[in-house]
Amino acid sequence: MLDKKVYSNPHRRYNPLSGEWVLVSPHRTKRPWQGKKDKQIIKEKKEYDPECYLCPGNERAGGNINPKYKSTFVFNNDFSALLSESTTDVHNSNELLKIEGTQGECKVICFSPNHSVTLAEMSAPEIRKVIDMWVEQAEELATKYKWVQVFENKGEIMGCSNPHPHGQIWASSFIPNEALKEIDNQGTYFNKHKNQLLLDYMEEENIKAKRKVIENDFWIVLVPFWAIWPFETLLFPKFHIKRLQDLSTDERESLASILKRLLVKYDNLFNTSFPYTMGWHAAPNDGLEYSGWQLHAHFYPPLLRSAGIKKFMVGYEMLAEVQRDITPEEAAQKLSNQTEIHYLETL
């Protein structure tokens, strides 16, 4: 058991998934803030926006017309970062100048036809339809590409270009950098211990119970011991499973429930539509076994002290090592203490 002085003084924590370290500086939470404060803009709620290129029946930026969809809707990104018809040729003129061609597909998933809601404001059955779409698309794209990245950027400060509730899927012929780190570290751990790294970590958290936010029969949400972002969380199944498409009907239903609970807690933390980047890390689809891999989702939210103050990754973080102020233990307690009734329902 670590002494409280260790947690209260500057220290580093190791991330066994990435193999990297994070600097924790708890004493800095006392510093006054005179930096940037993002203004909370409360926009008019409207189910349909004629100017929105993701609303049902509207023309998209690329010129295509959306169908008048009534539920979750997916389409090929009109400005895709990856192209299925591009070449995978390698052009390495020398060891310093390397080029590798890539292939892939990018999809956009509109979570709801309702322009004004977020996942946190949708019902569990509606979220279940989003999960089913994630599974359907992951299963299809896995037959063609090594890596399938399901993700959502929520909120303007996370670079979201359209407020309509939506996420994306990028599938690629290559395995990206962050995934390669997790392949290496989960694989090394499994070879040594013959068990999945995240499942063993869950058992540690069950003993210490310091960073658990919520759980149900099939899923658990933790603020990881090595978290970088102020209220970062890790969501994963309490049993060994590698990919979204391997989830049973009951497990998907349970996932919809815990997602709803977590996202409501996020919104209630600062009484705001809480911004974040989230994404699923599933095992690659290149035919290898990946026995050490555990399906999991990362939530990276930037808000630090309020709805108007965010964490910036600049200076020391970009040039040396990532750093955080509020401890993961404090963040987990604040999140877990939030009610599961959305604050908008109490206004």
Active site members: 166
- Mention every residue, 6+ apart, whose C-beta is less than 8 A from residue 101: 86, 87, 88, 89, 90, 91
DSSP letter at 313 equals: -
Tokens of 17: 């998934």
Strand partners, 110: 73, 166
SS3 104: strand
CA atoms within 13 A on the CB side of 254: 17
Gap between the Cα atoms of 122 and 128, Å rounded: 10
Cβ neighbours for 11, distance < 8 A, ≥ 6 positions apart: 23, 24
Distance between CA atoms of 121 and 163, rounded to whole angstroms?
14
Q: How far is residue 258's CA from residue 235's CA, in Å, rounded to a whole number?
A: 9
Other beta carbons within 10 angstroms of residue 242's beta carbon come to: 18
Residues written for the chain: 347
The closest alpha carbon to 157, from 54, 300, 44, belongs to: 300
Rounded to 10 deg, the angle between the 249-270 and 328-336 helix axes is 100
Which of helix, strand or coil describes residue 149? strand
- One DSSP character per residue, 269-290 reads HHTS---EEEEEE---SSS---
Burial of 4 (0-12, 13-18, 19+ CB in 10 A): exposed
Element (H, E) at 255: helix 249-270
